[in-house]
Each structure stands twice: as structure tokens, then as C-alpha cells.
Amino acid sequence: MRYSNLFGRATKSELKEDLSTNAKFLIKGGFVDQLMSGSYTLLPLGFRVVKKIEQIIREEINKTGAQEMLMPLLHPKDVWNETGRWETAKEVMYQFKKDDKEFALSFTHEEIVLDLIRKHAFAYKDFPIKIYHFSTKFRNEPRAKSGLLRGREFLMKDLYSLHTSVENLDKYYWEVADSYIKIFKKLNLDAKIVEAAGGVFTDEHTHEFQVLCETGEDKIFYCEKCDFCQNKEIATVQENDRCPKCGDIIKSGNSIEVGNIFKFGTFYSKKMNVHFMDEKGKEQLAHFASYGIGLTRLMGTLAEMFHDGKGIIWPSVVAPFQVHLISIGKNADKVYEKLEKDGVEVLYDDRDVSPGEKFTDADLIGIPVRLVVSEKSGDKIEYKERISEEKILLDYDEVLEKIKTI
Amino acid sequence: MRYSNLFGRATKSELKEDLSTNAKFLIKGGFVDQLMSGSYTLLPLGFRVVKKIEQIIREEINKTGAQEMLMPLLHPKDVWNETGRWETAKEVMYQFKKDDKEFALSFTHEEIVLDLIRKHAFAYKDFPIKIYHFSTKFRNEPRAKSGLLRGREFLMKDLYSLHTSVENLDKYYWEVADSYIKIFKKLNLDAKIVEAAGGVFTDEHTHEFQVLCETGEDKIFYCEKCDFCQNKEIATVQENDRCPKCGDIIKSGNSIEVGNIFKFGTFYSKKMNVHFMDEKGKEQLAHFASYGIGLTRLMGTLAEMFHDGKGIIWPSVVAPFQVHLISIGKNADKVYEKLEKDGVEVLYDDRDVSPGEKFTDADLIGIPVRLVVSEKSGDKIEYKERISEEKILLDYDEVLEKIKTI
């Protein structure tokens, strides 16, 4: 992609002082544009990042045997009424009336998926059911101030599973937890599994995946030696307490929630009559769980976690391009074309602007590898990684080899 | 995919009499599930079809130099007020108030994309702009009776382009029209470019892409010899008239609209102040067009166009799987595993049900190739295409060769 053609380039305009770090860098870098408070357009650069995050999630979730599908975003009131959440989740849900019909926008999909499942699964042989989608969620956030971390509208992967027994649900629940940890590791995020409250989802405790981050809105108490970890909402320990599990010292830190998993048991199935016929021909309630990861929130988290004063430093697996190619006083078209031909994703800054501006924008955008073609570099190409100050001159083939290691 | 594990299998339940053909087959085949009037869940099978349609569209649209992105679905009133469409499109738009803020759901994105563009493009060098997204549209349809052809909620590819001159817009407009014709051809649809009215989009005439289909809601008057073609809303001719372009006989037929393109010129740019600085430093209004293809509607159209009494007959490029493998009285696991290993997408009916039921479901689902492994076929595999009654016995390698030709 030629940078001169890209829609949504780096901006020099001054942004509001009180913007969160992730919003500041993502807006300045040309990844997103704010339509209104808590609502962002994914510009082509940001869209590429989110699509890469999506694909990493898809691959891991598919490995658990889950099937991808797509549920509607506009919901009829009657389905939400069955569990009482039309009332209890009123604050967070967008609800409205049109021509005497009442609707809600998807803030989650538990009721909708159960309505679907009870029409399609009847016998124990139809279970377990593991279905998911990537879709839009809407939540009424009066104070949407954390950029991509908290939106009125955002993208989420939500997975739902139904089982014929507690044991079977438990097994899959922890399989998904493992899968989540793998997803976050691939994104360079060291997520902790945290015991937490269930909000408008359940009265039981749930599990969140939290990443320690100074600017995070959450706070967790954790043990560095074992896996004990609690959200401050439900914490039974304080900093410097002894870990109730292993006796080590409890620490605390701000954090960002990057995923959550909810075990509902038969709570919702009972309210919505989701039964199956067991092996003895007896009707039983199905056991239900749901699992969420916010995609756009993950992009925000990565920007919040991986940046320096100059801009974002993307993990290579989700960088919008693998290579940022810069031409200085000399046309780099040939190198650009060769790289594209060799299957490398290249953002090629071919603009007629100063080298300084090109370097500044490259640092802001945060692609892992920067290549410079100039009179100075001669037949060679200057290679520099975003995370390092070292610049080396390489032949084209050496560049190609080195890119593969990033 | 093992059919026994698939969520959303063929159903034998009787459906409402008045369902449209596409809804009937798509529901019975396990492609979609109706949440409410005009709103469908894409079950795993239907999701696969739509994703394939999406990819065909993406590849062609990318060739025109357009860039993929994603715009929000929840819109603030003020942006829609700038063009007056908050009022004029009130009937079709879902609008609501929450905590004293007024919102609309995306029924289209012209205003939203122009609001975005005026923040990112300033000089003639920033043009042309060609951006698109696949996203959800919401339209208040009091009578949503045509299954996937007309929904309250549906998936659409919408492309928007901005240009510095009428000529440049015209050129791209017809380039996209060509691209659309190619997309429809790939889907086995012979679409006509039809002059039509602009509805809530424009007072000018626009162009629709219509496919002749007995059950279509639209009606067109066309010349079989030349490209003259008008929607009945604006038609200046009747059946058996002479074609005003070439003098041949005008015919008429019911049809389904599968795409549309709108040339707005400077109408919206003027209302929304979308300017650019030209080469002489003078401020000019940008020229605007938009282009839509309904993805879920296309799936409905394909079901409406390609079926027989037994079920759908998918064009192979969008079939949910390439091969429907059936085992009869004999395990076909090895053939299944080999096919998967050889990169063939297989739906494997491994259920313990009668051969008759398996054959009926295979016809209903409409995958282009059916393979049967049974005692009778011995070491061979019975090969049959959905469009033919001929069954032949082949070796595995012969099957593999033959699949490639479909």
C-alpha cells in the first residue's frame, strides 16, 4: 500500500488533552476516527490490526471445536423479558420502540443464543454445543473516556456453550480459559485469570482475564508465586497480605480486562426452558456458559501497553503491515514491488515530504520494521526495527531473510 | 465437518405456508434461523455461504483500488440532520432517544462517511477516495415477507467514492459497475444494469443491478438486443414497445435487485461542506457516489434462482462445502480424513440414520458434489453431482481430480 493513497494518515492536529493514551496514539496514527463519544470508525490501518486480532482468536477458538455463525444485533423485547434482563440490564442496554414494537440492541447475546438453541437441539446427542460469532455490541456508557477500552459500540468475539452435565461444562470452560491464555500470549499479553463479580450477567463469581497496566481502569490483587488473583470488587485480601493459597505476599496493580468467561449453570436454561432428553428419555436442563473477548478493546490494550513517547510499537502478529518502507530523495518503487511480490505486507511512504516527517510518522504508526532507500544507502537498504535504535545496511535478500525472523 | 456435530442441521418441521422460497429452503436446510420478522441468524452453514460471497466481493472491489474499513452502526442525530435525512428518511430509519441523546441505526452510511472524509481529506492530492466496509444495515420494514431478500437487519457491502471532478467520478462509477457485473457473474447471476429511481437517496436516476426471477419483487422493462433497461417505477416504455435505443422489442419481467449505485455529484458534499483545495488553491466541492451490494440478500437470491423441488443447488464458488460425503452401513472416516488432508471442504454425514434421510438432506443442502461410501461401492466411491442424476464409481484419486473441475 502506498502511503500517499492510504485513507486515514497520521495527523499533526492537536488532540484534546484528556484523551486516553490508546485513543491519542490510535487517532494520531490514523488507525481510528471518533464519530462520537465511545464510538470509532476503524480506518484502513486500524481495520487491518483488528482483522489480524480476529484471525488469531478465530484459529484458537476453532481448535476448541466451536463453530462460527452470526446472530442479529436488533432484538425483540419478548426474548429479553424471559430472563428479566429487559428490566435488570436496562441501564446498559439501548432499548427503543418503533411502530409499537419494542427492540433492544445487542449488549450481549445469551438470551438470543438460548432462543436459537432451544429450536435446534433436543436430545443429549445434540450436545455439547459450542457456537460463536464476531459481532457488534452496544452499551450505554455515560462516561466513555477510555478510548478503545470502553465503547458505546465495539467489536466482540462471543462464544456460547451448552452441555448435558456440570462436569462437561467445567471441562470445556477451562479449555476455553486455556485457549484465551494462548490468544493473549500470541498478542504478547501476559493475562492473569482473575476471580470477579458477574455484573448484569450472573450473581456468581466469574473469571476475567486481566493484563497489568498502569493506566488500567481495573484493580487486581494477585500472588506472583501461584495463580491466586482477585478483582478488587470481590477481593478478600489486601496488598501485603499472605496469599490464602500459597502463603506468599499479595501484590496489587491496575489492570485492563481483555476477556471474561461466565459459568451460568442451569440459571438461564431454567428461565428460558432450554431442555434436552437424556439417555434415559428424561428431560433435563442444559448447562450454559459464555465467553467474551473484545476485539477493539484488545487493539486499545495493545496501544496502551506497547508504546513509547513517539508512538505505538505493534507486536508483529497484529501490525497493520510487516514493513514500513521509506524513500528519501530517491524512488523506492522497485524495492516496494519486489517486497510485495515476495509476499511481504508493505506500507510504502512515497510522499513528497521531508525525511523527518516520514520518520516521525513511521515511529507513530509503529510497524516493526522500517526500511529506508536513499542516495546514502546506495544499492543497499537501511534496516531498522521499531524497538531498536540500531540501523544496518543490508542487501535485498538479507532484508527478506531478516523480516522473516520478526 | 461432521454433520452429526454441525449446529443447525436440516429440519423436517413443517414451516409456515406463506414463506418465500428462499426462506423455506434456507431454513429447512439449516442455513438460517429466524429471530423475528425480517431478522435472521446465519447458522454455521449459512455463515460459510455469506463469507464466500463476501470474499468474492472483496477481491473484486479491492481491484478498483478501494480500501476496506469499518464504520459504526449507531449514529448521532446531528450528522443525519445536516442533510435533512433525519426527517426525510424517518420511515425507514430506526431512531431513538437515550438519556437525552438521539441516535439512529445505520440504514446506510453516506452522512457518516462524509463526516469522516471532511476530517481527513483537504487537498486535491488526497482524492480520489474509495473506501468501503461490510457491515450491518437496519431498515424499518413493516412487511418483511421476502425472506433474506428484504430484512430489518441485513449485511451489506457499501462503497463510497469522492472525486475532484465529474469526469473522474463518472470513470470510477462505471468501473464499479463493471466490477459488480463481474461479481454477479462469478455467482452465476446474469445481472442487468437498470435505470431506476433514487428513493430516499437521491432525486436523480440511479442504476440498479437486477436479476430476472419470476418471484422477484421488482419489475423491469428491457431490450434483449441492447443494454436498454428501466425499472417500472420510472419506465418510459411498455412491453412490446420499440426499444428507444436500438428499435428492437421491449420485454418485461419480474426481477430481484442485487446491487445499486448512486451518483450524487455535489448534492451531499454541499450540504455537509465537503471541500478540497484544487491545484490553483481554490476551494471546490467534492463529487460523491455510493455503491451497495446486499450480502444476505445475495444468498437469498441464489436460493431463489438455483433450486429444484428437493432443495438448493449452490453455485460451487459459494457452496458451504465442496463435497457432501455420505456413509451407508460402512464407516467413511478414512475418505473423510483423506479429503480434508487434501484440502477439500467436506461435510461428512456420519449420522446413524437411514440412507434415504441422508440423500434427502444432501439434496436439500445443495452441495455440488455428493460422495457415497457403502458396502455396495466396495473400494470405490460413488460420485454424483447435485445437478445431475448420473452416479459413477470412482477411485479416490479420480474423485479428487473430478472435484477440481466443479
CA distance A8 to chain B (A): 6
What pLDDT score does B134 carry? 98
User: Does the distance separating the beta carbons of A94 and B131 come in below 8 Å?
Assistant: no
Pairing of strands B218-223, B153-163: unpaired
CA distance B9 to A205: 35
CA distance B369 to B75: 45
Task: Among 3.40.50.2300, 3.40.50.720, 3.30.930.10, 3.10.129.10, name the CATH number for the domain at B32-308.
Answer: 3.30.930.10
Average pLDDT, chain B: 96
Tell me the per-residue pLDDT of B291-332, one tens digit each, with 9 for 90 and over: 999 999 999 999 999 999 999 999 999 999 999 999 999 899
- For residue B49, the 8-state DSSP code is H
Residue among B377, B401, B295, B332 nearest B47 (CA): B295
What pLDDT score does A145 carry? 79
Coil, strand, or helix at residue A44? helix
Measured between beta carbons, the chain B residues lying within 8 angstroms of A43 are 69, 120
Tell me the per-residue pLDDT of A138-166, one tens digit each, with 9 for 90 and over: 999 877 778 999 999 999 999 999 999 99
Residues in Cβ contact with B30 at an 8 Å cutoff, skipping those fewer than 6 apart: B6, B8, B9, B10, B11, B43, B45, B46, B365
CA distance B262 to A87: 43
Measured between beta carbons, the chain A residues lying within 8 angstroms of B36 are 76
Instruction: Answer whether B138's CB lies under 8 Å from B153's CB.
Output: yes
Name which of A11, A105, A139 to mutate to probe chain B: the one with the most chain B Cβ atoms within 10 A of its Cβ: A105
User: Does the distance separating the beta carbons of B97 and A96 come in below 8 Å?
Assistant: yes
Instruction: Answer whether A161's CB lies under 8 Å from A96's CB.
Output: no
Average pLDDT, chain A: 96
Topology at the third CATH level for domain A32-306: BirA Bifunctional Protein; domain 2 (3.30.930)
User: Does the distance separating the beta carbons of A74 and B94 come in below 8 Å?
Assistant: yes
Chain B residue with Cα closest to A4: B126
Cell reading at B122: 483537504
Residues in Cβ contact with A394 at an 8 Å cutoff, skipping those fewer than 6 apart: A380, A381, A383, A402
Measured between beta carbons, the chain B residues lying within 8 angstroms of A112 are 35, 41
Widest Cα–Cα separation across chain B: 81
Tell me the per-residue pLDDT of A90-117, one tens digit each, with 9 for 90 and over: 999 999 999 889 999 999 999 999 999 9
Asked if pLDDT for residue B333 goes beyond 90, the answer is yes
What pLDDT score does A143 carry? 75
* Domain span(s) for CATH 3.30.930.10 in chain A: 32-306
**Distance, CA of A224 to chain centre:** 25
CA distance A255 to chain B (A): 27
What pLDDT score does A92 carry? 95
Q: What is the CATH number of domain B321-404?
A: 3.40.50.800
User: Would you place residue A306 in the very low, low, confident or very high pLDDT band (cuts 50, 70, 90)?
Assistant: very high
User: Would you place residue A288 in the very low, low, confident or very high pLDDT band (cuts 50, 70, 90)?
Assistant: very high
**A377: how many CB neighbours lie within 10 A of its CB?**
18
Element (H or E) spanning A248, and its range? Answer: none
Give the A window 111-170 contacts with B, CB below 8 Å: 112, 115-116, 119-121, 125, 129-131, 136, 138, 140, 142, 152-153
Cell reading at A57: 482468536
Name which of A14, A15, A33 to mutate to probe chain B: the one with the most chain B Cβ atoms within 10 A of its Cβ: A33
* Domain span(s) for CATH 3.30.930.10 in chain B: 32-308
CA distance B20 to B6: 25
Mean local confidence (pLDDT), A383-403: 97
User: Does the distance separating the beta carbons of B65 and A5 come in below 8 Å?
Assistant: yes
**B144: how many CB neighbours lie within 10 A of its CB?**
18
Chain A residue with Cα closest to B46: A69
Measured between beta carbons, the chain B residues lying within 8 angstroms of A94 are 74, 96, 98, 103
Coil, strand, or helix at residue B125? helix
Using CB atoms, pick whichever of B41, B72, B116 lies closest to residue A70.
Answer: B41
What pLDDT score does A14 carry? 79
Instruction: Answer whether A218's CB lies under 8 Å from A255's CB.
Output: yes
Chain B residue with Cα closest to A45: B69
CA distance B273 to B169: 18
Cell reading at B283: 476551494
Tell me the per-residue pLDDT of B65-77, one tens digit each, with 9 for 90 and over: 999 999 999 999 9
Tell me the per-residue pLDDT of A11-37, one tens digit each, with 9 for 90 and over: 888 787 788 999 999 999 999 999 999
Tell me the per-residue pLDDT of B254-270, one tens digit each, with 9 for 90 and over: 999 999 999 999 999 99
CA distance B317 to B54: 11
CA distance A367 to chain B (A): 19
Chain B residue with Cα closest to A97: B96
User: Would you place residue A294 in the very low, low, confident or very high pLDDT band (cuts 50, 70, 90)?
Assistant: very high
User: Does the distance separating the beta carbons of A35 and B72 come in below 8 Å?
Assistant: yes
CA distance B218 to B235: 12
Side-chain-side CA neighbours of residue B128 (13 Å): 23
* Domain span(s) for CATH 3.40.50.800 in chain B: 321-404
CA distance B134 to A42: 12
Using CB atoms, pick whichever of B39, B47, B153 lies closest to residue A68.
Answer: B47
Using CB atoms, pick whichever of A8, A98, A152 lies closest to residue B94.
Answer: A98
CA distance B219 to A16: 53
Using CB atoms, pick whichever of B68, B125, B138 lies closest to residue A74.
Answer: B138
Q: Report the sign of the C-alpha dihedral through residues B65, B67, B68, B71, in that order.
A: negative
- A8–B contact, CB cutoff 8 A: yes
User: Does the distance separating the beta carbons of B44 and A131 come in below 8 Å?
Assistant: yes
User: Would you place residue B16 in the very low, low, confident or very high pLDDT band (cuts 50, 70, 90)?
Assistant: confident
Measured between beta carbons, the chain B residues lying within 8 angstroms of A119 are 33
Asked if pLDDT for residue B124 goes beyond 90, the answer is yes
Instruction: Answer whether B373's CB lies under 8 Å from B326's CB.
Output: yes
Judging by beta carbons within 10 Å of its beta carbon (0-12, 13-18, 19+), is residue B84 exposed, middle or buried?
Answer: exposed
Tell me the per-residue pLDDT of B364-401, one tens digit each, with 9 for 90 and over: 999 999 999 999 988 999 999 999 999 999 999 999 99
